[in-house]
Chain A
Amino acid sequence: MSDRQQPTNARLIPDRLTSRLKDNLMSWPSLLLVVALLIFLANSLASPYFLSPWALSDATFNFTEKAIIALAMALLIVSGEIDISVSGIIAITSTMMGVALQFGADTTTLVLVGLSVGLICGAFNGVLVTKLGLPSIVVTIGTMSLFRGISFIILGDKSYKNYPESFAYFGQGYLYWVISFEFVLYLLLAVGFYILLHKTNFGRHVFTIGNNAVAAEFSGVRVARVKFVLFCLTGLMAGVAAILLTSRLGSTRPSIARGWELEVITMVVLGGVNILGGSGSVQGVVIAAFIMGLVTFGLGLLNVPGIIMSVILGILLITVIALPTLLSKFKNRQ
């Protein structure tokens, strides 16, 4: 028995040092990048309209809002928690901005209302999870219904319209030529989140908590506070997304952004973040957002209905997650 176990143990110890370059090339983000480039290539071959600056700029609109939430959600999932309520936060934030509009709020006030409502909702989730020690997946299913429910109570079957013209800039404006405000904001936030997760102590704490929350606690990491901050950040990003989306659509309905939570989580998981927590990277999530955007837009140019795109994204999600396990099983068999 013991001599049969020897080889398996020996295999765990690498016989040579791993090369940094090879690791980088074989890493999840680089694999995703290859997938993204292939999709880009396929798209430009499949449709003659794809490779125009305006078309590509249009393509960014359908995923930037979700991608902004995915940045914060990635950190949250790395820490071992999850927030299902983000689409509910968008609904309530958008509704509250509409309410503020009825009281004659100007663009600055609208933005402030949007950011603070998002932050408050995130903090509410954070308190429920960290102070009361509840499982985030169920709590946020509850708050999702609660948040969206409140906008249904306020709005019913009506909608808010007539947002000020200057407010439309956030979701529709261009900074320079075809480069939209939304897209630049997304890139800036992505850099910000990259630094936060990969270059700061806070980011290391997030990884530590995701790997072993108890050990983190004993090492002096303030687990509850870090998690609380992450919930607030996710709420805030949902608030930002709500501002952009409301500005882009120019109206608020209680059913706004319905089902986004699953798309955002798909984006994060596709980006290589372990759904059980402890590992992941912001680069991966950013590339995954581009993949999802490119797939959706390219198929749209080919007149593929939206629901078929979601099937393709679903298959993509499962294959991408299953692939490493399948490959290692195949290797072990040989």
Chain B
Amino acid sequence: MSIAVKNISKRFDSHPALSDVSLDIQEGELIALLGPSGSGKTTLLRVIAGLEFPDAHDGRILFHGRDVSGLSAYQRKAGFVFQHYALFNHMNVFENIAFSFRVLKRSQRPSESVIQDRIDGLLRAVQLEGYEKRLPTQLSGGQRQRVAFARALANKPEVLLLDEPFGALDAKVRKDLRRWLREFHDSTQLTTIFVTHDQDEAFEVADRVVLIDKGGIQQTGTPAQVREHPANDFVADFLGL
């Protein structure tokens, strides 16, 4: 699904988090929002997700050309993965992933065997077969994040939004998960946006990188473009060029 962000501004109290941000994302792209902490990259992701609402000017969010500005995160069909997993600790892995089915009305809910098949498939996709009965507290950080991925993918979102998905993980696991994400994206072509402050991560995984600082987009381009032609001092400085 293509995503268009048009003239979005967002203030927290008096502090501007985003000022007049516009961004176009093509269907099937894998995009990294890259910037230092406090730059507004997470706010932009949350505004796209519908977890945060922009200040009421003329800012709009379009999914596939359709205005979704007034819709909730769920209505936007966006899968969201949180930095600290946000797993439900009292539910086992299976029930965590099945959550989006459990909250459906009985008339809309798929049968138990359909849910079982779907979750088996997801567990295979995130390489966690056999972990259905474990509680989140019995898993490592990387495993928890993969459960969070599976949960976000369960009701077939049309866009996947990841907030620092590898931020809380150690280096080795981070590398593996990065590669996994790239392969997963290549096989599904699901439009994906992820936030990171790690340029290696952004450049290794993303099709296009969006550099953000002080609530504004500083440069957008492929990793090669950005590296070879930094648009301004911030980009050059941040990338250490």
Q: Do A and B come from one complex?
A: no
Q: Give A residues with C-beta under 8 Å from B.
A: none
Q: Give B residues with C-beta under 8 Å from A.
A: none
